């Protein structure tokens, strides 16, 4: 079946439009791949690490080294135009005294010419070579995360135990849970885990939140990896048990007379989910003023400012009451507000007062002068 010229053109156009809409707008960018390498320390290691930098075709990049172990590394080039590959030759010493993570940064910064009359930008990315130097004996490091959830849903904990010492470790782990008053409200036993030297193990555990109030909590992972009391690693993470509630945190309190004012309301979500179509309805009953802010979307636990505008011309009092109602998912949070006007300085009164003061002072001086002349005449 022959496709007509019209349809061929239409299909081509749609492809181009699709490609254009899905191509990120690239104005001034720098990128590098890979973003990092991770290695364990080996005495005397000699190794080459390659990084591919990319940028706008016409951009020039200054390539540099920064951070720990800089003195043991060499760059294949310190300048790139329009991107390119940089090789880093790393020659580690026989011994590094300080154990733990050492980071060597390989950066590329755009060389941007300053343009008079503008504030311009320069993008700079730094890739990382992470070198783990083992601790003597047994040593553990933790990577701990706690995912917030809504009331009644389980909280997921993820604990990674890294054996960073020269010896393997047999760990005994638990997670302690504290409420916002620092009171212990729960504990999860994670049992025993063997972690070989230089490797890690991940433990995932869920905590049932039924019966627990919404709010902020702290989870503390405690991992014992040796017989000595000091051989215990801990990590702390905060999480929240959410509830469907939006709080009114703050609002504009001082306004200007006889003009259209911007009225801001800061709201905070206590829900671990997106809440669409959040808006505020503000009324000033005494003057029959009402306005609604545009709808907004709140991300999980997000704080945001809703903005509305109204004219204060009809308001003659210094202070007046307003009612703020924030609407979301069929619910409303209400607050009564007391608003007032900014004090306006009447310059006419100020100038008048200054003139009066000067007049009084001048009069006093004249009186003194006249009195002294009279006195001298009499003498």
Partner 1 sequence: METDKVLLTIAVVAVAVSVIGLVFTYNTISGFKLWLTGLATDTATANVTITSSEAINFTTDNINWGSGTVNGGETNATLDTASGTVTGGTWTAVSQGFILENIGNVNVTLDLATDKDASTFIGGTSPLYQFNVTNNEAGSCPSANQSITFGAYYDVNTTSPGTRVCDNFQFTDASDTLRIDIKVVIPADAIPEAKGSIMTATATAV
Interaction site with partner 1 (CB under 8 A): 24-36, 54, 105, 107, 109, 112, 114-128, 238, 297-303
d(CA 23, CA 286): 54
Nearest-approach distance from CB 17 to partner 1, in angstroms: 19
According to DSSP, the β-strands at 254-255 and 331-341 are parallel
Q: Which CB sits closer to partner 1, 27 or 229?
A: 27
Nearest-approach distance from CB 308 to partner 1, in angstroms: 16
Q: Which CB sits closer to partner 1, 1 or 26?
A: 26
Q: Which CB sits closer to partner 1, 218 or 283?
A: 218
Nearest-approach distance from CB 376 to partner 1, in angstroms: 47
Taking every pair of C-alpha atoms in the chain, what is the biggest distance, in angstroms? 131
According to DSSP, the β-strands at 46-55 and 84-91 are antiparallel
d(CA 201, CA 194): 8
Nearest-approach distance from CB 188 to partner 1, in angstroms: 22
d(CA 143, CA 360): 78
Nearest-approach distance from CB 299 to partner 1, in angstroms: 4
Nearest-approach distance from CB 116 to partner 1, in angstroms: 3
d(CA 240, CA 272): 8
* b/e 157-166 (16+ beta carbons within 10 angstroms → b): bebbbbbbbe
Nearest-approach distance from CB 152 to partner 1, in angstroms: 23
d(CA 101, CA 25): 37
Q: Which CB sits closer to partner 1, 36 or 287?
A: 36
| Residue that has been written with the tokens 């960018």 in this structure | 29
d(CA 148, CA 271): 10
Q: Which CB sits closer to partner 1, 305 or 333?
A: 305
d(CA 68, CA 89): 15
Q: Which CB sits closer to partner 1, 125 or 190?
A: 125
Q: Which CB sits closer to partner 1, 109 or 335?
A: 109
Nearest-approach distance from CB 323 to partner 1, in angstroms: 26
Q: Which CB sits closer to partner 1, 114 or 182?
A: 114
Give first-to-last CA distance, the chain, whole Å. 131
CA distances to 159, 222, 234 from 191, in Å = 12, 11, 15
H or E element at residue 40 = strand 36-40
H or E element at residue 19 = helix 5-21
Tokens representing residue 114 in the block: 């300053």
């Amino acid at each position: 079946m022959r496709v007509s010229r019209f349809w061929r053109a239409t299909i081509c156009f749609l492809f181009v439009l699709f490609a254009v809409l899905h191509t990120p707008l690239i104005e001034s960018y720098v990128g590098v791949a890979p973003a990092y390498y991770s290695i364990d320390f080996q005495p005397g290691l000699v190794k080459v690490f390659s990084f591919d930098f990319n940028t706008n075709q016409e951009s020039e990049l200054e390539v540099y080294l920064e951070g720990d172990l800089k003195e043991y590394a060499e760059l294949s080039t310190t300048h790139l135009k329009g991107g390119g590959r940089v090789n880093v030759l790393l020659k580690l010493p026989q011994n590094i005294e300080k154990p733990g993570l050492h980071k060597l940064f390989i950066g590329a910064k755009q060389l941007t010419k300053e343009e008079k009359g503008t504030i311009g930008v320069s993008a700079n990315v730094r890739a990382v070579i992470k070198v783990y130097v083992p601790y003597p004996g047994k040593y553990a490091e933790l990577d701990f995360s706690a995912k917030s959830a809504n009331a009644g849903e389980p909280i997921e904990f993820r604990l990674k135990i890294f054996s960073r010492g020269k010896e393997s470790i047999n760990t005994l782990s638990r997670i302690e849970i504290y409420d916002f008053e620092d009171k212990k409200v729960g504990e999860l036993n994670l049992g025993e885990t063997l972690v070989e030297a230089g490797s890690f193990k991940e433990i995932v555990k869920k905590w049932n939140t039924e019966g627990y109030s919404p709010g902020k909590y702290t989870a503390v992972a405690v991992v014992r990896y040796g017989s000595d009391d000091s051989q215990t690693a801990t990590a702390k993470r905060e999480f929240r048990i959410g509830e469907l509630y939006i709080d009114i945190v703050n609002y504009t309190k001082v306004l200007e007379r006889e003009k259209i004012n911007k009225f801001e309301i800061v709201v905070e979500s206590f829900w671990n989910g997106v809440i669409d179509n959040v808006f505020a309805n503000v009324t000033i009953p005494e003057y029959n003023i009402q306005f609604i802010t545009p709808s907004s979307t709140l991300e999980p636990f997000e704080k945001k400012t809703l903005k509305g505008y109204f004219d204060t011309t009809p308001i003659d009092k210094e202070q007046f009451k307003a009612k703020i109602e924030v609407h979301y998912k069929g619910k409303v949070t209400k607050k009564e507000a007391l608003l007032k006007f900014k004090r306006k300085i009447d310059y006419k009164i100020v100038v008048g007062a200054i003139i009066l003061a000067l007049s009084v002072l001048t009069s006093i001086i004249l009186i003194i002068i006249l009195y002294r002349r009279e006195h001298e005449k009499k003498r």
